[in-house]
Amino acid sequence: MAVIEATSENFDELVNSAEYVMVDFYGDHCGACVGTAPYYRDVADDMAFVKFLQVNTSVYRDLAKRFKIMGIPAFRYFHNGELVHKSVGGMDTEMIHAQLSRLLYHD
């Protein structure tokens, strides 16, 4: 599944439209964000049962403020529309899978 660019207007609808959602809060001029992006896209292509979203914090500052994004890349994980996990920092494929396991197997 492709990564979907979320906006202030469609964010809640997108998060609530799938059982599992991972959101990447990123910035265009963030080296770790740029480095993580290809791994994030690869995992999104492999895991059709998780919806993968991106939010550009330079454009959608309201969403960054709402989710208390203090550093990027930052990731938020939702199950049935409810925030269940948070992480921050650049990741590779293996790290993304490890974080997703927290989403998929949360209590």
Condensed to tens digits (0 to 9), the pLDDT of residues 15-71 reads 999 999 999 999 989 999 999 999 999 999 998 899 999 999 999 999 999 999 999
Both tokens of residue 49?
């049962």
Of the candidates 52, 30, 57, 56, the residue with the CA atom closest to the CA atom of residue 41: 52
Q: What are phi and psi of 7, to 5 degrees?
A: -125, 170
Every domain of the chain and the residues it spans: 4-104
> Between 10 and 46, where is the model more confident?
10
pLDDT grade, residue 106 (50/70/90)? low
What CATH architecture does domain 4-104 belong to?
3-Layer(aba) Sandwich (3.40)
Instruction: Tell me which residue has tokens 């994980």.
Output: 77
pTM of the model as a whole: 0.94
Res 101: pLDDT: 86
